[in-house]
Structure 1
Amino acid sequence: MMNIGKRIVSLRESRGWTQRELASRVNLNVSVMNRIEANERPVKDNELLQLANVLDVSTDYLLGRSSSSTLTQEEKDEAEFQAFANNPTLQKWYKELPKSKEEDLEKLRKMWEILKDHGEL
């Protein structure tokens, strides 16, 4: 059974990317990426979402909970949204939204759809 580091390496290599290229695509330091791939450092939740989005797989696949690396369109849309919602540059703005979590998420989802539809993402 492959661990998360091996799955990331396998996916990265299948795309012909260097470790540095993948690290850049997910906004991580290359030394952090190296430690993640070597299973010397756990992957943080936001990093897991970014990796799954960039590698076009589900988080379940990276975590070894699914043997299929193929995403459905619904899973792709959700992964894109989660990566958008967890973008560190949005965190300050997101924290200032009204306190209702459901209301916050719905507003953010509507904004994401507008940006996506207009090719801003």
Structure 2
Amino acid sequence: MSIGERIKAKRKQSKLTQTELGKLVNVSSQVISNWERGYSDPNHDDVARLAVELDCSTEYLHGISGDKLSSKDVLVAGQEINLTTEELQLFNELKKHPVMFHDLASDPEKKVKELLKMYKMKKMFLEDDEELGDGFGDLED
């Protein structure tokens, strides 16, 4: 299956018209039509935007992987990591702090899961602190 055929299949699965998809990825409906019919191919940036809007991986669109990655699968350091919906939300929040993702080349799944656990623990402790107040209770003068 060509990249154009994959784009068309994913667009139809997403119930989008060529015009709607074009607006989402900032190209005309004619460009989408040309891609789908194999008259031209999307560039790297276009493929990245298509993958986001069509909820699939760039590898799927390029035909590297046979199956689309679900929204719970994340590619980190070239490896696919399966995350629960909650973990995916946390991971997306953590991505806002790139310093936390140094040295993911070795065993990225284990390291991402550890980061997620640390984030959950931090959040839990902060929630507990808010319930306890400042820890001094009521003091009389």
What one-letter code is carried by the residue in structure 1 that aligns with 2:68? S
Structure 2: how far apart are the matches of 1:57 and 1:15? 11
Q: Which has the higher helix share?
A: 1
What one-letter code is carried by the residue in structure 1 that aligns with 2:62? L
Structure 2: how far apart are the matches of 1:74 and 1:15? 20
Structure 2: how far apart are the matches of 1:9 and 1:75? 23
Could you tell me which runs of 5 or more consecutive residues in structure 2 were left unpaired when the two chains were aligned.
77-94, 98-141
Task: Identify the residue that residue 33 of structure 1 maps to in structure 2.
Answer: 32
What one-letter code is carried by the residue in structure 2 that aligns with 1:25? L
Determine helix, strand or coil for the equivalent of 1:113.
coil
Tell me the TM-score normalised to structure 1 length.
0.59
| CA displacement, residues 48-106 of structure 1 (integer Å, 9 cap, x when unaligned) | 10001111111110010101112444239xxxxxxxxxxxxxxxxxxxxxxxxxxxxxx
Structure 1: how far apart are the matches of 2:75 and 2:13? 21
Determine helix, strand or coil for the equivalent of 2:9.
helix
The Cα RMSD (Å) is: 2.5
Provide the identity percentage: 31
Structure 2: how far apart are the matches of 1:55 and 1:16? 10
Which gives a bigger RCO, structure 1 or 2 (Cα 8 Å, sep 6+)? 1
Task: Identify the residue that residue 101 of structure 1 maps to in structure 2.
Answer: none
Tell me the TM-score normalised to structure 2 length.
0.51
Determine helix, strand or coil for the equivalent of 2:20.
helix
Structure 2: how far apart are the matches of 1:61 and 1:27? 21
Determine helix, strand or coil for the equivalent of 2:30.
helix
Determine helix, strand or coil for the equivalent of 2:74.
helix
Task: Identify the residue that residue 113 of structure 1 maps to in structure 2.
Answer: 96
How far off its partner does 1:21 sit? 0.6
Considering only CA atoms, is the larger Rg found in Structure 1 or Structure 2?
2
Task: Identify the residue that residue 75 of structure 1 maps to in structure 2.
Answer: 75
Could you tell me which runs of 5 or more consecutive residues in structure 1 were left unpaired when the two chains were aligned.
77-111, 115-121
